[in-house]
Amino acid sequence: MSEAEQVTGVVTDHGEGPFWDEAAGRLLVVDMLAGAVVAVAPGGGTHRYELGGVAAAVRARQGGGYVLANERGFQRYTADFTPDGPPVAAFDDPAIRMNDGGCDPQGRFYCGTMAYAVTAGAGTLYRLDPDLTVHTVLTGVTISNGIQWAADGHHVYYNDTPTRRIDRYTFNPADGTLGDRVTLATVDVSAGQPDGLALDAEGGVWVALWGGGAVHRYAPDGTLTDRVTVPARQTTACAFGGTTLYITTSRDGLGDNAEPAAGAIFAVDVGVTGAPQHAFAA
């Protein structure tokens, strides 16, 4: 067991979706409900890009720049977060918003949704293909979170937070569809709820625990092998930059005086390299 150290000030209200931007050598996180992307340099300095609306998840594009899941769809950006082309709508229900996402090894971008009212089963996992068409991948989700692909390219890890499960689906790389589901692990109610996740090069699954102030590591057989404590209960997501695990946190709903470190970014060297986060192919 280890403890993560605070590496920034409070730079987000609802920090989520960390992504290690390999080309720029920096971490990107979203301040989701404020509609901003925060870039964090290795020394802890930050730069904030105000995009407006909701900023749910960000990934690199293979040709340079970024792709972002916004409130109800997707937007491509240049390297300085100038919009690159028109937005791509995924749905039009104002009661629903995008929540978390990632890219498969083929360069397709997935992002799942949740209802603002956290209505059970109201969420959907969508896929944005490189031709900018949008497809439904999974329905009946409540809070879509934590999607990342195993090294074999034929399995994907995924969290629907209120289920308290970390699930592994079979994955068809040819068409980007999900198949059979098995449960890797179930998080005890006392430990929090599974939020964002990251994979390491040994196949370990690192899961941020909302309400638990921690990140758990599970081996590929579901055994709990490590625990990183975080001095902010609303631990939201994690991502690797080398052997450093970066962790985002949230102040949402806490009030001004509670948990002064909530909303900061934390980091810990866990001694194993992270698996790559893939880029969008358009």
Q: Which residues are catalytic?
A: 195
For the chain, give the DSSP string.
-EE-EE-S-S--SBEEEEEEETTTTEEEEEEGGGTEEEEE-TTS-EEEEE--S---EEEEBTTSSEEEE-SSEEEEE-TTS-B-S--EES---TTEEEEEEEE-TTS-EEEEEEETT--TT-EEEEEE-TTS-EEEEEEEESBEEEEEE-TTSSEEEEEEGGGTEEEEEEEETTTTEEEEEEEEEE--GGG-EEEEEEEBTTS-EEEEEETTTEEEEE-TTS-EEEEEE-SSSBEEEEEEETTEEEEEEB-TTT-SSS-TTTTSEEEEE-SSPBPPPPPB--
Q: Is the separation of the CB atoms in 168 and 189 below 8 Å?
A: no
CA angle 166, 18, 225 (to 5 degrees): 40
Pair type for strands 66-69 and 73-77: antiparallel
CB contact burial 17-26 (16+ within 10 A = b; e otherwise) = bbbbbeeeeb
Burial class of residue 162 in the structure, from the number of CB atoms within 10 Å of its CB (0-12 exposed, 13-18 middle, 19+ buried): middle
